[in-house]
Amino acid sequence: MSKFEGTNLLDFKKELLKNDKGREEYERLKPKYELIHALIERRHQLRISQDRLARITGTRQPAISRLERGDYNATMGTFLKVVQALNLDLQVLPKSSNTLKGKTACV
């Protein structure tokens, strides 16, 4: 057995959510990582490599990799090209909670 064991993602998340600051940061970043997860999952479903997706969208593979890692804020144009190349539909919906206190937001 190795003396170094990897971190279990679920255990890490559970530990992170125990404190208020960790929970707040998780909730703040959650939409970003849900989008990234959806893009990666769809790319895998279509069996498209990062390199192929980059060629389709007119960018380079490292840009796709940075977008999928979440450590790079892609332009809206690049993001929309990726969404279109993956044949995805993008919708922006109001949150189900009462964060707007009864007001309806139109996008």
Dump pLDDT digits (tens) for 33-60: 889 999 999 999 999 999 999 999 999 9
Q: Which pLDDT does position 107 carry in this prediction? A: 46
Q: Which pLDDT does position 79 carry in this prediction? A: 93
Look up tokens 């139109």; give the residue: 106
Q: Which pLDDT does position 71 carry in this prediction? A: 80
- Low pLDDT (below 70) residues in the chain: 1-7, 9, 98-107
Q: Supply the mean pLDDT for the chain.
A: 83
- CB within 8 Å of 40: residues ≥ 6 apart: 68
Structure tokens at 47: 């069996």
Question: Rounded to whole angstroms, how far apart are CA atoms 13 and 44?
Answer: 24
Percent of the chain at pLDDT exceeding 90: 42
pTM of the model: 0.70
Q: Which pLDDT does position 1 carry in this prediction? A: 47
Question: Rounded to whole angstroms, how far apart are CA atoms 22 and 91?
Answer: 28
CATH no. for 14-84: 1.10.260.40
